[in-house]
Structure 1
Amino acid sequence: MLLVEDDEEMAGLLTETLVGDGFVVDHASDGQRGLHLGLTRTYDVMVIDRMLPALDGLDLVIRLRSRKVPARALMLTALGTVGDRIAGLDAGADDYLMKPFDLDELSARIRALCRRTPESTTVLRIGAGLLDLTPRDAVLADGTRVALSAREFELLRVLAAQPNLVHSRAELRRRVFDEAAAASMVDTYVYYLRRKLGRAVVRTVHGLGYRLGAL
């Protein structure tokens, strides 16, 4: 998850809450840094303050959408007029939450955004590369296509669908392989993906499992 918030106290509180909800959080304290992270890393949800230094939150969302960044965006703001809300939504935000807000409501809205998967989605971003869902190929940053086996594709798809969550081996075995499969089967297919696409494509989170990396 990407959090773009210039108030350090608020950013600390939100980061603590989001990490407690199971997210891995990258924090940017200004809009320019948020733009860089949004364009170079893959996120499922972005929480963006409306009033930011360097680049306003509204302009940030507009620029990310112009570059086809698909992550859902929740905009936080003290500007609560109908016109302000319309401007945020028209810029490409998926939701709009006024300050001050309840942290439980923020968590609920983010969970709702995570459940939204556009039916038209045919690719999932993996860093500078892509997972193409139609021919089931990985596309490297230089445009090279790499064919994946059915199990390799499904394992990478599960990781890419929620790129900032850590998935346990037990969960990945249940979702990708038969329950009867040995737990080591997950590690074997992570090895296969790394051999084809580079070691950075899947990150090991020691003691917990795996999360998406980058191409």
Structure 2
Amino acid sequence: MVDAPTPPRLLLVEDDRRLAGVLEELLADEGYVVDPARDGQQGLHLGLSRSYDVLVVDRRLPAIEGLELLRRLRGRGVTTPALVLTARATVADRVEGLDAGAEDYLTKPFDADELLARLRALRRRHPDRADLLQLGRRWLDVTTRQVRDQAGAVVTLSDRECALLQTLAGRPQQVFSRNSLLTLVFDDGANPGVVDTYVHYLRRKLGRPVIRTVRGLGYQFGGA
């Protein structure tokens, strides 16, 4: 028996509920599993904690603007192809979007068939989405939020634990301040102490060396 293909996963970051509802139905009919986000902060959290085949991001978003969202995802090593939706149609706006990390740009109002065709083209250009992040002698599966070692032992992480580990391990040479981790991983308004709490959780599950404390600066991936 041949296993059924896994349906493509898509992150839709759109704050217009009416348009988002139409797009969710359209994309689901096309075979996508759609995760909706209503603002840039939620989009950032989902983009860092889960794995997608393609992103659809509105340009004007509350909390974190669409291009800033893409810059943060790209800065964290997330390479998922992204299409930006925008009401702005100038060449300068399209250039700014492409420079921010978008692979494609579609101006509102747009034709549904064109949107679907552009998404198919993006997926053809990026057929091999990597869901595994190597952590020394272990691997993080960002889809299942599981860390596996060579012996097959599995440790399951929470969404936030996974996002924090992915953030640190994605750029192992970088030292992240608490404030930068707060912005990248946690919600606006969270207490900075939440970073230390989740560092503790990860060390408890994966061993203290997994995250290195750099005194006076913050935290760095320590290996696994």
TM range (shorter): 0.5 to 0.7
Q: In 2, distance between residues paired with 1:92 and 1:145? A: 33
Q: In 2, distance between residues paired with 1:94 and 1:51? A: 17
1:17 paired residue number: 26
Q: In 1, distance between residues paired with 2:14 and 2:96? A: 19
2:93 paired residue number: 84
2:179 paired residue number: none
- Are the counterparts in 1 of residues 11 and 35 from structure 2 also a CA contact under 8 Å? yes
1:139 paired residue number: 139
Kindly provide the CA deviation profile for residues 170-212 of structure 1, in whole angstroms up to 9, marking residues without a partner as x: xxxxxxxxxxxxxxxxxxxxxxxxx765799xxxxxxxxxxxx
Q: 1:117 deviation in Å?
A: 2.5
2:37 equivalent to 1:33:
no
Unaligned runs of 5+ in 2: 1-9, 158-224
Kindly provide the CA deviation profile for residues 92-112 of structure 1, in whole angstroms up to 9, marking residues without a partner as x: 000000000000000000000
Kindly provide the CA deviation profile for residues 34-57 of structure 1, in whole angstroms up to 9, marking residues without a partner as x: 000000000010000000000000
2:174 paired residue number: none
Aligned partner letter, 2:92? G
Kindly provide the CA deviation profile for residues 31-82 of structure 1, in whole angstroms up to 9, marking residues without a partner as x: 0000000000000100000000000001000000000101100000001111
Kindly provide the CA deviation profile for residues 129-185 of structure 1, in whole angstroms up to 9, marking residues without a partner as x: x166xxxx97137975437xxxxxxxxxxxxxxxxxxxxxxxxxxxxxxxxxxxxxx
Q: In 2, distance between residues paired with 1:63 and 1:37? A: 12
Q: In 1, distance between residues paired with 2:57 and 2:29? A: 19
Q: In 2, distance between residues paired with 1:37 and 1:50? A: 17
Unaligned runs of 5+ in 1: 148-194, 201-215
- Are the counterparts in 1 of residues 147 and 154 from structure 2 also a CA contact under 8 Å? no
2:213 paired residue number: none
Give identity over the alignment, percent: 56
Q: In 2, distance between residues paired with 1:43 and 1:7? A: 21
TM-score (norm. length: structure 1): 0.60
- Are the counterparts in 1 of residues 87 and 107 from structure 2 also a CA contact under 8 Å? yes
- Are the counterparts in 1 of residues 40 and 65 from structure 2 also a CA contact under 8 Å? yes
Aligned partner letter, 1:6? D
- Are the counterparts in 1 of residues 146 and 155 from structure 2 also a CA contact under 8 Å? no
Q: 1:124 deviation in Å?
A: 1.2
1:93 paired residue number: 102
2:88 equivalent to 1:53:
no
Q: In 2, distance between residues paired with 1:138 and 1:94? A: 31
Q: In 2, distance between residues paired with 1:106 and 1:44? A: 15
Q: In 2, distance between residues paired with 1:3 and 1:13? A: 12
Secondary structure of the residue aligned to 2:125 is coil
Aligned partner letter, 1:139? W
Secondary structure of the residue aligned to 1:107 is helix
Kindly provide the CA deviation profile for residues 3-23 of structure 1, in whole angstroms up to 9, marking residues without a partner as x: 000000000000001000100
The alignment of Structure 1 onto Structure 2 pairs a total of residues equal to 143
Alignment of 1:155-166 (within 5 A): none
1:211 paired residue number: none
Q: In 2, distance between residues paired with 1:48 and 1:117? A: 18
* Residues 37, 104 of structure 1: alpha-carbon distance in 2 compared, 3 angstrom cutoff: same
Q: In 2, distance between residues paired with 1:105 and 1:18? A: 12
